[in-house]
Amino acid sequence: MENPLVKEHLERMRAQGLILPEGPAWEAFLEDIEAGLSAAAGQSQSAQALSATTTRLVALMENLQAAVLVESPDHRVALANTTFCQMFGLEHTSWSLVQQDAIECLAQCAECLLDPMQLLTVADADARTDSVFTLSDLRFRDGRTLSLELVPIRLGGEGFGHLWMFHDITVRKLDEQRFAAAAEELAASRDKAVDLANLKSDFLANMSHEIRTPMNGIIGMAGLLGDTQLAEQQREYLETIRSCGESLLALLNDILDFSKIEAGKLSIESIDFDLFEVIDDLMSILGANAFNKGVELVSYIAPNVPRAVKGDPVRLRQILSNLVDNGLKFTSQGFLEVRVGLAQDGEEDVLLRFEIEDTGPGMKPEALPRLFQSFSQEDTPTTRKFGGTGLGLAICRRLCELMGGSIEAESQLGRGSIFRFTLRVARQKPGHGMPDLATMPPVFLVGLPPALYRSLRVQLGAWGLRADHLSPVPDSLDLLQSLPEAWVLGCQGGGGLSKTFFQGLREDPKLSRSVRSLILTSRYSASQQKDARQAGFKELIGMPVRSGQLLDLLSGAPRRKGAAEGAPLAPVAAELGAPRLLLAEDNPVNQRLALAVLKKCGYEVDAVSNGLEALNAAMAHSYGLILMDCQMPEMDGYEATRRIRERQVGRQRTPIVALTAHAMVGDREQCLECGMDDYLTKPLRPDALVATLNKWLQPPEEPAK
């Protein structure tokens, strides 16, 4: 033997006492071994690489979490891992399966399943395709669930069998079932919450209707009673009734608004409006409270603030009313000022900044962080003294956020408070530009209260006018005599020198021509207005001063609609020959109230108590306008309106105005959808009713000649 490796093994065998065969056959066998070893010596490197690759493949197969079976093209088991045997409970090792019939092996595995045909159908060689096949719901008898991937093995267009891969997805399926059950429970909870929210909305709508209906009678009748002759004590009692009714109505409105915000049903409008008119109307409405308390209520609008904007004037007015009313509630002396400026300026829209400053008692620093939270007030004594729900500021915060802004407060105890808020509005196209006041004569401020003097001086200066203080004494008349032209904005004082000044201003021939006198009187004091007119002054401006009206007056612009100072909303009944109206209202108190207001305005009115009577009356007579309650017996106002509109097709359309105690989201839309033209919410206010009548009963404009 020449091969040392063969010699070494033969010697080791002999040393162990083994008897080796002898003879020519044995010698030939040893020679064959030597030849084989010599031939393999040159291929040792390739054999090592193949061995390493095979080892890695086996390790990979055994460490897979999946059960793997490799099927050869002739449907034999080419390879399987231990997980495969364990998963199907086979009494074989993975290597013992090699070269067995793969179809028979899979058939044996199928016996573990609840439905063996699931796997047998796939194993049918004749039914297979060359595409990947997946099955995600193989259920075992013991409760486990498997998924299957059957992947054809191809290389260069030639098929090399199939790869069967099984995954145990029992845990995943259980999780999916739990998730599905949780989702179903969540959906049921959501549906229940929606049902509860709808019940809540229905309850609030009904509560709104039921409370507003008697409130309409209380406030309305109190107003009518106030127009009669009453003793001082009776008038005091009546004012208490009216004030309590207004407070209850404000409380109801806060609750409804808060509920709409919580339900995400509060919508923001985007309509064209005059910003100056909103501020002016606010000053006029809340000025009465300031006048009664002896508090100065003033305003300032920066010159770069656009007048014609697009947004939600109702919600803006609501925020301002709440903040100004709060300020007046807590302020017993001094002033309250409303300032409007720009936080951001843009070509398409602007971010308005509002500030409401008062000289009230102020607040502790620790009260500010919770100020805009729901049902939160500064302290319990405040609640007892001033009342309120603690919802107003929370509603203001949410409204500001809905309109692209924010709100904050600054306050020091004993030094008053400043509330600041912003909101975004669009510019109208084209907008109103500021008038040129460069040619205006000098303006003198005479005898004004401190806060009003400061506010007007800043406002006039912002408009480009020089405004100087002038004492109401006779010597000041000499200064006015030396000027070719001048304006005087003044208040008549009670002193003798002041009376002499204003008398000289009115009676001096030169001054009566060169000086234009605008006398400021409280719009809530008939005696002040009477004294000024008896003194001979014709141009009166009401306090609180309306910035828009003052700007129009100084620039010579025509007064805007509704800006006439002190002029009530006059009914048009006399001008139109008192068109006959139809009132449909089932509540006797509300019917009496509406009839009293309408007849006081000079209208002839037919009254009915349900929708069916309203329909019959509308078909039998021609009315200038129909006031239609929405909730009535026999037939509600919505159905009555729809039927009236159906019968008016091709005929003259009668304006129909809804009268409703509902004040929820969608009520206005529901009224308009059924064919109504306008909407009045109860409690019915005489001024709102008259304004609506004026709107729909205005005579047509005469054609230009």
Tell me, what's the pLDDT at 705?
39
Tell me, what's the pLDDT at 570?
42
Regarding beta strands 158-168 and 296-301, do their DSSP bridges make them parallel or antiparallel, or are they unpaired? unpaired
3-state secondary structure of 526: helix
- What is the CA 443 to chain-centroid distance, rounded? 45
CA angle 398/403/408 to nearest 5° reads 55
Tell me, what's the pLDDT at 289?
82
Tell me, what's the pLDDT at 300?
92
Tell me, what's the pLDDT at 407?
93
Tell me, what's the pLDDT at 564?
38
Tell me if the domain spanning 268-428 has CATH number 3.30.565.10. yes
Tell me, what's the pLDDT at 561?
42
Judge contact between 329 and 299, C-beta under 8 A.
Answer: no
Residues forming CATH 3.40.50.2300 domain(s) in the chain: 434-567, 581-696
Tell me, what's the pLDDT at 15?
63
Find all residues with CB under 8 Å of 392, minimum gap 6, and list them. Answer: 254, 322, 326
DSSP one-letter code for 140: B
Classify domain 434-567 at the CATH topology level: Rossmann fold (3.40.50)
Q: Which residues of the chain carry a pLDDT beneath 70?
A: 1-58, 61, 201-202, 204-209, 260, 262-265, 374-390, 430-434, 494-496, 557-578, 661-667, 698-705
> In 10 A of CB 86, how many CB atoms?
11
Q: Which two tokens stand for residue 82?
A: 């231990």
CATH of domain 581-696: 3.40.50.2300
Judge contact between 597 and 689, C-beta under 8 A.
Answer: yes
Beta-bridge partner residues of 419: 356, 409
Residue 163 CA to residue 78 CA, distance in Å, equals 10
Beta-bridge partner residues of 488: 444, 517
**CATH class belonging to 47-168:** alpha beta
Find all residues with CB under 8 Å of 624, minimum gap 6, and list them. Answer: 576, 579, 580, 581, 654, 655, 697
Tell me, what's the pLDDT at 552?
83
Find all residues with CB under 8 Å of 574, minimum gap 6, and list them. Answer: 602
DSSP one-letter code for 339: E
Residue 631 CA to residue 629 CA, distance in Å, equals 6
Q: φ, ψ for residue 426 (rounded to 5)?
A: -90, 155
Judge contact between 162 and 148, C-beta under 8 A.
Answer: no
Find all residues with CB under 8 Å of 430, minimum gap 6, and list them. Answer: none
Judge contact between 138 and 57, C-beta under 8 A.
Answer: no
Residues forming CATH 3.30.450.20 domain(s) in the chain: 47-168
Amino acid at 557: A
The DSSP line for 365-383 is GGGSTTTTSTT--S-HHHH
Tell me, what's the pLDDT at 406?
94
Tell me, what's the pLDDT at 23?
60
Q: What does the pLDDT look like over 468-509, one tens digit per residue?
A: 999 988 888 989 999 999 999 988 876 667 888 888 888 888
Strand ranges inside 38-89, DSSP E:
67-71, 77-80
Residues forming CATH 3.30.565.10 domain(s) in the chain: 268-428
Strand ranges inside 405-498, DSSP E:
407-411, 417-427, 443-446, 467-469, 486-490
